[in-house]
Amino acid sequence: MKGRQAPGDLIGATIMVIGATGLAASLTLIAPLESVSAIYMLPVLVSAVRYGTKPAMLAALLGAFSTSLFYPPVLSIQVVQPWQIVDLVISLSVALVMGRLAAQTRDEMLAARQREGQIKRLYDLGSAMAAASDAEAIYTIVAAHMSEALSRPVAVFVAGASGRIDSIPSPVVGEAQERVLKPAVERTLAAPPGAARDRAEFVEVPGGESWLLFPLGDAERAGAVLAVAFGRDGVAPASEVIEEARLILREGSRSLERLGLTRAVEERNMRQRSDELRDILLESVSHELRTPIAGIMGSAGVLAAAPALRDEPQLVELACGIEAESRRLDMRIQSLLDVTRIRSGALVPRLEAIDLLDVVNAALDAAADRLREHRICREFGPDLPLVRIDAVLVEQALINLLENAGKFSPPGSTIRIGVRTEAETVRITVSDEGAGLEPSQREQIFERFYRGARHADLAGGSGLGLTIAQVFVAANGGRIDASSAGPGQGTRLAVTLPRLREAPAREGDEHE
């Protein structure tokens, strides 16, 4: 065993050598022996097994000395004969080697027994913690096991909300001690995880008591501090005590991590289920409402083209009206669904590098039908950069801005759409020659969505369209600003989007 040698062990070894001497003396009286060295092997062997290496060594030396006393002339330490020298040297060597080997075997056996005890304790700890449902239960279990393993009282300090520290009530910590321990507990809790994870802090409380503090937590952070009481000895704890404590703490950390993981998985599953439910709901509402409209719209279109109605322009007009109105109705439903998607958080942009002109042109094509009464003026700057956006969302936002411009400006007026590159951003502007805005309205026009009750036309193009546009653009990291020189002076809506930084490699097109 490592550690200090108890003096009793050395005395025991000495007593055994004296016993062996008595045995040797008795034997020489019965039958004269040339050498008694073999008899002195017994105390060496017994001391090695019982007490360890040092007493065994002592027994070997004392044995060799006593052996020499039995050489004739008896009771003289004079060694005369060469065979006596050989006998002494050989017996001493054998005794020393045998003593060492026996002591080693003993150490190994003791270590194995200790490991077995440790493993059993950790196993018990593991099964106790497996049943724990929250972190606090784990702290308490770890503390109880540590207290048992180290045979010392252990107190638990838990990091509460907003930096407070709660101590789990325990008889081992008095109020005064708690006051002294708390700063050290705070230090231990604040230490970054990882390198400092296995750190232990030794604190001496005025009054002579000392405590050893260990952090306990998962990989992220320490959630609690265990304080092991070392009483009034004030002796620094042996490294094996700390080692044992660490084993227990590591086991505790593992349990805490498992607990955190289980909880995270459960939460994610729950979120996924509710997301799925919401998507199914939106999907089915979309299907249920829009399929009948598809039927109405398609049928009206077929009617309008029917040979039987070729000479009935009024009826054809009616059929065309049904077709157009059902298309409008469908677009309103789509807007409502968009609003629901935004509100329920189902809106996740799929960002992709794209030529902004493609998006602007797609929006112009899609809105063309409703801007037929207006003149369109494109003002595109040279060398427009690529942008990383969700093309579909930005296209819808632009369609809404264009339709808004068409709605609030007189037929025959011009709608200008401009695209310009700036240092960090790209700006798309939609300007009309319509009613314009009061300065106070610049923010309000986007807000209708949130004050929906006042606006019966919730799904109408006017207010909701801009709100949807704003949310879609914001989802792409951009914003929309409204400006106007004043009432009657037209309105300008500007979409600002971040530029894509790195220019892509020009591989692939071998010319140029």
Partner 1 sequence: MSDAAATLPLLALIVDDEPQIRRFVKAGLEMQGFRIAEAKTAREAIDLAVMRAPDLAILDLGLPDADGATVLAAIRSWSQLPVIVLSVRSTETEKIALLEAGADDYIVKPFSMAELLARVRVVLRRSAPRGTSSPLIRVGELSLDLAQRIVSRDGAPVTLSPKQFALLTALARHHGMVLTHRQLMRELWPQGPEEDVQYLRILMKKLRDRIEPEPARPLYIATELAVGYRLRTQEQLDAILRTTPAEE
Contacts to partner 1 by CB under 8 A: 286-287, 290-299, 301-302, 305-307, 323, 326-327, 330, 334, 350, 352-355, 357-359, 361-362, 364-365, 368-369, 371-378, 380, 386, 390-392, 395, 414, 504, 506-512
In the bound state with partner 1, the residue whose beta carbon lies nearer, of 456 and 505, is 505
Among residues 198 and 330, whose Cβ is nearest to partner 1?
330
Q: Cβ closer to partner 1: 17 or 391?
A: 391
Residue 428, SS3 per DSSP: strand
**What whole-number distance in Å separates Cα of residue 456 and Cα of residue 453?**
7
Which burial class, exposed, middle or buried, applies to 451 when counting CB atoms under 10 A from its CB (0-12, 13-18, 19+)? exposed
- Output the smallest distance, CB 387 to partner 1, in A: 11
With respect to partner 1, which residue has the nearer C-beta, 228 or 300?
300
Contact 70, 29 (CB under 8 A): no
Kindly tell me which of 96 and 386 has the beta carbon lying closer to partner 1: 386
CB 462, min distance to partner 1, A: 20
Residue 61 or 392: which CB sits closer to partner 1? 392
Q: Give least dist CB 437 to partner 1, A.
A: 24
Cβ atoms of residues 375 and 414 within 8 Å: yes
Closest CA to 401 of 439, 427, 440: 427
Least distance in Å: CB of 445 to partner 1? 24
CB of 494 to partner 1, least distance (A): 19
User: How would you classify the pairing of strands 414-421 and 425-431?
Assistant: antiparallel
**Closer residue to partner 1, CB minimum distance, 65 or 380:** 380
Q: Could you give the residue ranges of the DSSP H alpha helices within 31-52?
A: 41-51
In whole angstroms, the minimum distance from the beta carbon of 460 to partner 1 comes to: 19
Considering Cα of 147, then 151, then 155, then 158, what sign does the dihedral take?
negative
To partner 1, the closest distance from the beta carbon of 504 in angstroms equals 4
Beta carbon of residue 277, minimum distance to partner 1 (angstroms, whole number):
18
User: 285 has which bridge partners?
Assistant: none
Nearest CB to partner 1, comparing residues 219 and 368: 368
User: What percent of the residues of the chain are helix, what percent strand, and what percent coil, each to the nearest 5?
Assistant: 60, 15, 25
Alpha helices for 375-485 (secondary structure H): 391-407, 441-444, 462-475
The token duo for 233 is 């000895």
Residue entry with tokens 């018990």: 124
* Min CB(367)–partner 1 separation in Å: 9
Judged by CB, which is closer to partner 1: 183, or 298?
A: 298
Cβ closest to partner 1, residue 194 vs residue 412: 412
The CB-of-421 to partner 1 minimum distance in angstroms stands at: 14
CA 53 to chain centre: 50
Q: Could you tell me which residues are beta bridge partners of residue 377? A: 416
Cα separation, 217 vs 81, in Å, equals 72
Place of tokens 């330490």: 77
Q: Which is nearer to partner 1, 251 or 395 (CB)?
A: 395
Terminal-to-terminal C-alpha distance of the chain: 82
Q: Which is nearer to partner 1, 42 or 282 (CB)?
A: 282
Query: Rounded to the nearest whole angstrom, what is the least distance from the CB of residue 433 to partner 1 in the complex?
Result: 12
CA distance 476 to 499: 11
Q: Which residues in 94-109 are b (16+ Cβ under 10 Å) and which e?
A: bbbebbbebbeebeee
User: Based on CB atoms, which residue is closest to partner 1, 60 or 319?
Assistant: 319
Q: Distance between CA 156 and CA 146 in Å, rounded?
A: 11
Closest CA to 23 of 43, 52, 46, 3: 43
Minimum CB distance to partner 1, residue 326 (Å): 7
Distance from C-alpha of 53 to C-alpha of 46, rounded to nearest angstrom? 11
- 479-483 and 492-498 as β-strands: parallel, antiparallel, unpaired? antiparallel
CB of 505 to partner 1, least distance (A): 8
User: 170 phi and psi, to 5 degrees?
Assistant: -150, 145
d(CA 153, CA 138): 17
In the block, which residue shows the tokens 């490592």? 2
Residue 174 DSSP class: -
